[in-house]
Amino acid sequence: MKNLNERLNSRYWSEPQQFNPNISNIRFEQSGLGYSLYRVRVSLFSSLDINHVQDCMHQLNRPLNLYRVFLWVITFGFCTAPLVWAQNQPVIELLPPSQSHIKPAVYHGEQYSAQRQAFAEFIGTLESARHYDVDEMESALAELRGYPLYPYALKHWLLATLPLQNGARVGQFLREYEGQPVVMNVRKRWLQQLMDEGEYSQFEAFYKEGLSAELDCVYLRRTLSADVSLSTLDNKVASLWLVPYSQPKACDPLFRRWRDAGLQTPQRTLKRMIMAVKSNNIKLATWLARSVPSEQKYLTTLWFDAQRSPYKLTRMNRFPNRASEQEAAVFTYAMGKLVWSQVDAVIQAFSVAQQRLKLSDESVASLTADIALSLAVDNHPNAEKWLQRASDLRSDPEVLRWHVATKVRRDDWQGSLDVIQQADPAFGDDVAYQYWQGRSYQQLGAAEQAKQQLISAANQRHYYGFLASAQLKQTPALNQRSPQWDAVAQTKLASMPALQRAYELFSHQRFTEARREWRRVLRSLNKNEKLQAILLAYDWQWFDQAIFGLAQVGYLDDVERRFPIAFSSRINASAQEHQIDPAWAYAIARRESSFMTDAISHAGARGLMQVLPSTAEYITQSRFPYQSLLEPNQNVDVGIKYMRYLLDKVGDNPVLATASYNAGWRRVLDWVPKSEPIPMDIWIETIPYRETRNYVKAVLAYRYIYQLQLGNSSDLFEQIGSMQMAPLSTPLK
């Protein structure tokens, strides 16, 4: 009988050099004579001959007959699946033949469990204690050497004691961890301290560009010599000055030098003033307007009116035609703001402006499209005329979408087909237009053409694909396809310090720092290694990075990982309590945050379900600490309670409730038809707000996927296909 190591290398490894005889564990999968569900634990020692295996089996007190079967399978070649070694996984598994790939051991840093606790205590002391013993903290810091997060412990210690530190220690830290995310805050704070203390030689030695405008300005003031060329001075300073907000006072001497050199031209002053106006920074814009030459002062007034009172610019006598290009730009901007509230006034002004002002072709096309979309949103009688004009001027996806939506809303099914067929051929394969062509043929009685288009759409895992499947009365296929695990790549990843730091930071819930390290890891990997890292993140239950990563590498068929059953115990319990479909709750969380527990929107919505603090207080009828919304369980409870509230407000209509989660229930009820009912798919297609329209489509598709993920049968899209959005018989409150 051959040595077991030799047989493994010769029979089961395509590249024998990948097998490491010093690895103490192997896992393989195979059916094998009816024993596919048995798990046999074997430790393989360095020599790995068959006698050692036999000794191990006796030590494990396994039945001899099972041991003989195991040897029989190995010896006579009944195993056909490959073997894959995996560190820290002392298991040989006889698994069902249906499994097509082998999952190696996943990195979890078990060897660092003691230091992990010590790190948490160290950081906790720094963050909570007013006073601490420096010697004890230095000793605790020293004990963390060898732990992947030692640089972060040192970072926080340096930040806490920076005024007491000497330059040598800080400099050593910055040099040792150069290029790593951990140094950024330390370098910035250290430079600020050196600047405040007037230690400019050290400041210049440690300086890195881009940490802050103040530091950049101080450095340039110190290093730009008096005889530097104007082009160099301009290249260094112009980008700092030409921004729509005020810069720190430390920049003022640098800007004066730049201005005195004649580099702050009137054109640049006007350009920055316009940038400030568009950012609604009126204070800065007013200050800049003082420096605009007198002959251009009227332009500053026009821009202020464009931002605050755009209707004033519908009067053509406001435009003396002295600076035609600038006047055309301010008119286009003002009408673009006004068109959504006073479209008739814009149409009238636009017709005159095309004769009086030198509008560019781009401005004409842009304003025509804005007018067309505004009319279409309001279902204005002239919408189709303007949509056609806009389509003739340029190919615009949103104009095309609303052109088709307007046609189907008005039951002009032949017109819908004509619009799609006359559009840019690039849109021909779009699943949305395949679906609407199918629906149009269906309504026109062309059953075969309808079926062809709907089948094309139904092949895609998409909102429109699910709608098409419902029309065909067939169950959509999710086409789940998991990536293969790559043991070699996984081993490489597990050995990467940056990945170890990312995992440790994630385990400490230091998510911002973890994401910085994770992005740094991904930048260093090839596509396959990135995919392997994403699989690793999913196994860590770092769901948001798995979701974002799969999208980044373009691997969209791993439905299970792209739509994880995350935070299931809390979501399921809360959904049951409030009588909410859990699949809907998962779909909302997936769309709102991709399960990022610390997500905070620009509007202040927080956590998994992106709940506003004001909403939380209203729903719970109590004061709600803002930070509590970043705690997953509390966030889920409040979010699902709010979903129940919305369902009650809109008469248990799932589509209206979904739209309400994004736009608010009062606004959504304003979109309900006032007279004749319309099919639900058409109503969704004509939701006035683009964000809400896309949100509803996404959440409905996600909800369907989650229903299947949870093992439930679903007729969600059959319901949508047969539903009518009817006028409200009784006003909802």
Residue 600 sits in the same domain as residue 700:
yes
Residue 575 sits in the same domain as residue 707:
yes
Q: What residues are paired with 83 via a beta bridge? A: 28
Name the least confident of 60-64, 209-213, 523-527, 628-632. Answer: 60-64
| Residue 650 burial (10 A CB sphere; 0-12, 13-18, 19+) | buried
Q: Which domain holds residue 720?
A: 568-725
Residue 339 confidence (pLDDT): 98
- Of 664, 504, 647, the residue nearest 585 (C-alpha): 647
**Number of residues assigned to the chain:** 733
Report residue 606: phi and psi, to 5°: -130, 150
What is the mean predicted confidence (pLDDT) over 643-657?
96
pLDDT digits (tens, 9 = 90+) for 534-559: 999 999 999 999 999 999 999 999 99
DSSP sequence for 289-309: HTTS-GGGHHHHHHHHHHHH-
pLDDT digits (tens, 9 = 90+) for 190-224: 999 999 999 999 999 999 999 999 999 999 999 99
Residue 127 sits in the same domain as residue 13:
no
Distance CA 687, CA 378 (A): 10
Residue 43 sits in the same domain as residue 188:
no
pLDDT band at 41 (very low <50, low <70, confident <90, very high): very low
Distance CA 187, CA 529 (A): 31
What angle (nearest 5°) sits at the alpha carbon of residue 718, between those of residues 716 and 721?
Answer: 110
**How many domains would you assign to the chain?**
3
Residue 105 confidence (pLDDT): 64
Residue 116 sits in the same domain as residue 79:
no
Establish if 99 belongs to a structural domain.
Answer: no
- Of 106, 92, 111, the residue nearest 53 (C-alpha): 92
Whichever domain contains 607, its CATH number is 1.10.530.10
Contact 243, 268 (CB under 8 A): no
Establish if 239 belongs to a structural domain.
Answer: no
Helix (H, G, I), strand (E, B) or coil at 600: strand
Q: Percentage of residues in the chain with pLDDT exceeding 90?
A: 79
Structure tokens belonging to residue 640: 């699902």
Residue 713 confidence (pLDDT): 87
Residue 366 confidence (pLDDT): 96
Q: Which of 186, 201, 223 is the last residue of a domain?
A: 223
Name the least confident of 63-67, 484-488, 497-501. Answer: 63-67
pLDDT band at 8 (very low <50, low <70, confident <90, very high): very low
pLDDT top residue among 166 and 667: 667
Residue 576 sits in the same domain as residue 694:
yes
Residue 157 sits in the same domain as residue 218:
yes
Name the least confident of 21-30, 449-458, 507-516. Answer: 21-30
pLDDT top residue among 623 and 388: 388
Residues annotated as part of the active site: 592
Name the strand (E) or helix (H) holding 635.
helix 632-649
What is the mean predicted confidence (pLDDT) over 106-118?
91
Residue 624 confidence (pLDDT): 82
Q: Which of 45, 62, 93 is the last residue of a domain?
A: 93
Residue 684 sits in the same domain as residue 720:
yes
Establish if 399 belongs to a structural domain.
Answer: no
Q: Which of 52, 67, 93 is the last residue of a domain?
A: 93
pLDDT digits (tens, 9 = 90+) for 114-126: 999 999 999 999 9
pLDDT digits (tens, 9 = 90+) for 246-270: 999 999 999 999 999 999 999 999 9
Residue 104 confidence (pLDDT): 56
Q: For residue 562, give Cα distances in angstroms to 146, 237, 460.
A: 35, 45, 16
CB atoms within 10 A of CB 95: 18
Establish if 557 belongs to a structural domain.
Answer: no
Residue 705 sits in the same domain as residue 605:
yes
Give 597's DSSP letter: T
Residue 525 confidence (pLDDT): 96
Q: For residue 108, give Cα distances in angstroms to 379, 510, 693.
A: 57, 16, 41
pLDDT band at 625 (very low <50, low <70, confident <90, very high): confident
Residue 102 confidence (pLDDT): 52
pLDDT top residue among 21 and 603: 603
- Of 211, 165, 204, the residue nearest 187 (C-alpha): 211
What is the mean predicted confidence (pLDDT) over 161-189?
93
What pTM value is reported for the model?
0.83
Q: Percentage of residues in the chain with pLDDT exceeding 70?
A: 85
Residue 211 confidence (pLDDT): 95
Residue 138 sits in the same domain as residue 211:
yes
pLDDT band at 103 (very low <50, low <70, confident <90, very high): low
What is the mean predicted confidence (pLDDT) over 593-608?
96
Establish if 34 belongs to a structural domain.
Answer: yes
Given 3-state DSSP classes, what are the helix, strand and coil percentages for the chain, each rounded to the nearest 5?
A: 65, 0, 35
| Residue 254 burial (10 A CB sphere; 0-12, 13-18, 19+) | buried
Residue 84 sits in the same domain as residue 128:
no
Contact 97, 30 (CB under 8 A): yes
Strand 678-679 with 83-85, pairing: unpaired
Residue 632 sits in the same domain as residue 677:
yes
CB atoms within 10 A of CB 654: 18
What is the mean predicted confidence (pLDDT) over 350-364?
94
Establish if 704 belongs to a structural domain.
Answer: yes
Establish if 606 belongs to a structural domain.
Answer: yes
Establish if 325 belongs to a structural domain.
Answer: no
What average pLDDT does the chain have? 86
- Of 447, 375, 443, the residue nearest 415 (C-alpha): 443
Q: HEC profile for 380-394?
A: CCCHHHHHHHHHHHC
Residue 729 confidence (pLDDT): 66
